[in-house]
Structures are given as structure tokens and as C-alpha cells.
Amino acid sequence: MKLKGGNVELGNRLKEWRAKKDITQEELAIRINMSRQSINAIERGRFVPSILTALKMANFFETKIENLFYIK
């Protein structure tokens, strides 16, 4: 009994939030302690971050996860 829900895709507003805070990908990476390449990949939707990464970002931007990531 396995209902397959359609392939769920993830969207994000990282670039907008970075702009709002005037911060570079590298700075963000340093702040939340991860690589710049990972930030870049997440921002470009290349992969789905862990919820820990998402929470750290939300913390940094002083907002809710839902304002950063959403299901398309």
C-alpha cells in the first residue's frame, strides 16, 4: 500500500535574503560554517539541504524556514 506522491521540488529565496542583508555567498558560508560551494549549490537548487542547514540559515537571516524554502 504505497501511494507515490509526485516528485516534490524545492524552491528557495536565498539570493533575495542575501541581497537584503548585503552579504556574499562566502560570508554566509562562514557564518553558518559551511562551504561556499554548498551555499552556491543550494541557492541554485542543485541539491536539497538538511534541515539543520536550513535552520542555521533561518537563524542567521532572523526569519522562518518557510520564508527561505518552499515546495514548488
Query: Exposed, middle or buried, 51 (CB in 10 Å: 0-12/13-18/19+)?
Result: exposed
Cell of 53: 542547514
Number of residues that bind DNA (CB under 7 A): 22
Decide: is 25 part of the binding site for DNA (CB under 7 A). yes
Minimum distance of DNA from residue 62's CB (angstroms): 19
Q: Which of 21, 6, 5, 33 is nearest to 68 (CA)?
A: 21
Minimum distance of DNA from residue 67's CB (angstroms): 18
Decide: is 37 part of the binding site for DNA (CB under 7 A). yes
Chain residues binding DNA by CB under 7 A are 18, 24-26, 33-38, 40-44, 46-50, 52-53
